[in-house]
Amino acid sequence: MILLNPGPVNVSERVRRALLEPDICHRESECSELLADIRQKLLQAFVPGNESEYTAILLTGSGTAAVEAALLSSLPQGKRIMVIINGVYGQRLWNMALTQRLGGVEMRLDWGQAPDLDKIKLSLRQHREIHTVAMVHHETTLGFMNPVEKVAEVVDGLNRVFLVDSVSGLGGEALDIAAPHIYMVASASQKCIQGFPGLAFVIVRKGFMDKSVKTYPKRGWYLNLANYYEEQERGSIPFTPAVQVYYAFREALNELLEEGVAKRCARFRGYATTIRKRMSSLGIKAVLPPEQQSNTLTAFYLPEQMSYEWLHDQLKQEGYVIYAGQGHMESKIFRVANIGALSDKDISGFLDAFEQIIKKRGESG
């Protein structure tokens, strides 16, 4: 089956084979080496040249675990969080803040609308209680790219902590973490990095981790980043890791480093361009204008009188899995992601199958 949902993705045979590494105990030196290797490779891939300024912290869980751990670990007693919301995952960040009574300012925009930098600046000047600003990098809801680097400069300029949910972006969308001083970036194994689901991680500015995060209140036990950091710096991990998934993730990182992050982004961009051109030639309209579209996912309007379920089932019979819309767009759109160990042939095979399905339906009236 070719997966054109935004993760979990198809992985390479090389990554799949890494699941078969020998069984190990997570308290043995083999596991310490595995953890250290993954942490170092994450820094090499995502903060090249600035590895000493950042640290990577690994958790077993899905992307949400990394996002929530970062958010809850990011602020001292009495301080609050601002969330910029322009999609489902921004809303999730806000829900996390509210659950812990840490919500301060909610900057709510339409889906796919970029935030106004002056408004963020003004709001941060007015709300001294805001310590952390959180937003999503690639808003998977519509495949929208948020201007995180520009927001990072504003937030850093006003001495606040900037946290980015890049669960669906890192490895597939360009992101300069170090230059604009992004403090925390949360992501996971099963999307653009092309591993199996189960490993989540946060890349954190080392000075912030050492001087601040360690002193902040613990707002959870499993999701407290300081716990993980302390143990991982000693070569250990506080809770049982999904060892086999970690082995496979290390192999996925090897593949990413061999391909290069920029080339991976370009490969995904190439697939997306092919998909968008062909869809356009078939009269299928993209929801976002080209300048807002990501490398990795496109939201398209469903043709008139066609249900998502019908389209999905027809494509699945041909071996392709697409993805539904969410919230108020659920019955109006379908989404096609183009991440994972895919080939040009997979993309053209999907597009041929799609065209056949549309034509057959047209002929049957």
Ligand X SMILES: Cc1ncc(COP(=O)(O)O)c(C=O)c1O
Chain contacts with ligand X (rule: CB under 6 A): 6, 62-64, 67, 89, 136, 140, 165, 167-168, 188
Handedness of CA 272, 273, 275, 276 (dihedral sign): positive
Residue number, 18 or 164, with CB nearest to ligand X: 164
Cβ within 8 Å of residue 351, ≥6 positions away: 274, 275, 278, 279
CA distance 144 to 78: 33
* Least CB distance to ligand X at residue 157 (A): 25
Structure tokens, 90: 């921004």
Helix H or strand E segment including 71: helix 63-72
Residue number, 74 or 168, with CB nearest to ligand X: 168
Cβ within 8 Å of residue 77, ≥6 positions away: 216, 217
Helical axes 261-281 vs 243-259, angle rounded to 10°: 80
* Least CB distance to ligand X at residue 199 (A): 10
**What's the angle, vertex CA 194, arms to CA 12 and CA 53, rounded to 5?**
135
Residue number, 165 or 255, with CB nearest to ligand X: 165
Cβ atoms of 133 and 120 closer than 8 Å? yes
Residue number, 89 or 300, with CB nearest to ligand X: 89
Residue number, 81 or 358, with CB nearest to ligand X: 81
Question: Residue 309, Cα to own-chain centre: how many angstroms?
Answer: 26
* Least CB distance to ligand X at residue 277 (A): 25
Cβ atoms of 79 and 105 closer than 8 Å? no
49, 187, 228, 237 from 59: Cα distances, Å: 24, 10, 8, 9
* Least CB distance to ligand X at residue 279 (A): 21
Location of structure tokens 């840490």: 102
* Least CB distance to ligand X at residue 23 (A): 26
Residue number, 142 or 284, with CB nearest to ligand X: 142
Nearest residue to ligand X, by Cβ distance, number only: 63
Residue number, 43 or 96, with CB nearest to ligand X: 96
Cβ atoms of 82 and 131 closer than 8 Å? no
Long-range CB pairs of 89-92 (<8 Å, 24+ gap) are 89/136, 89/139, 89/140, 89/141, 89/165, 89/167, 89/168, 90/135, 90/136, 90/139, 92/64, 92/67
Residue number, 155 or 167, with CB nearest to ligand X: 167
Residue number, 73 or 212, with CB nearest to ligand X: 73
Question: Residue 2, Cα to own-chain centre: how many angstroms?
Answer: 20
Residue number, 120 or 136, with CB nearest to ligand X: 136
* Least CB distance to ligand X at residue 303 (A): 25
* Least CB distance to ligand X at residue 271 (A): 18
* Least CB distance to ligand X at residue 67 (A): 6
* Least CB distance to ligand X at residue 60 (A): 12
68, 69, 115 from 56: Cα distances, Å: 15, 13, 28
Of 339, 80, 331, which Cα lies nearest the Cα of 188? Answer: 339
* Least CB distance to ligand X at residue 129 (A): 26
